[in-house]
Amino acid sequence: MDDAEFEALLHELAAVTDAELVDDIHAAAAAVFDALDAWRARPAWSNDGVGTRLVQIVASTRTALAALPDGAGVTATVNAVRPLLGAYWPGRPEPAAAAAAAVERLRAAALHRPPGIVQARSMLAARDGR
């Protein structure tokens, strides 16, 4: 990546609003919910301890997200989805793998992307003397 590409990426990241981050986290969480629902509809689903626990975690996370007020910030939204991120998600068989992949995308949206955006904003502000 050359300097111009880095500069463009820095500005692109810094331009992401908190509202866009929150929307991305909500969308990623919805994909997890959909993936778990699809897994539960398949013969590979098992109501064992792991399955039962995941259903409980998804239900409580849906409730927590629905309870957030309009305009809730990134931190509140991340805290609402945190139980999904800390749970064990089996990677096999295939329906489980799709749910685990959705959790990884949520993890990226909720845990990895926000610090990069904050860092990009800080770098631009420091360079601009703000």
Using 50, 70 and 90 to split pLDDT, how confident is the model at 94?
confident
Task: Identify the residue whose tokens are 């990069």.
Answer: 116
* CA 58 centroid distance within chain: 13
Average pLDDT, stretch 85-113? 94
Using 50, 70 and 90 to split pLDDT, how confident is the model at 1?
confident
pLDDT score of 128: 78
CA–CA separation, 17 and 15 (whole Å)? 6
Structure tokens at 3: 């300097």
pLDDT score of 127: 86
Average pLDDT, stretch 62-70? 97
Amino acid at 29: A
- What pLDDT digit, counting tens, does each position of 27-60 carry? 999 999 999 999 999 887 888 888 999 999 999 9
Backbone phi and psi for residue 122, each to the nearest 5 degrees, phi listed first: -65, -40
Using 50, 70 and 90 to split pLDDT, how confident is the model at 130?
low
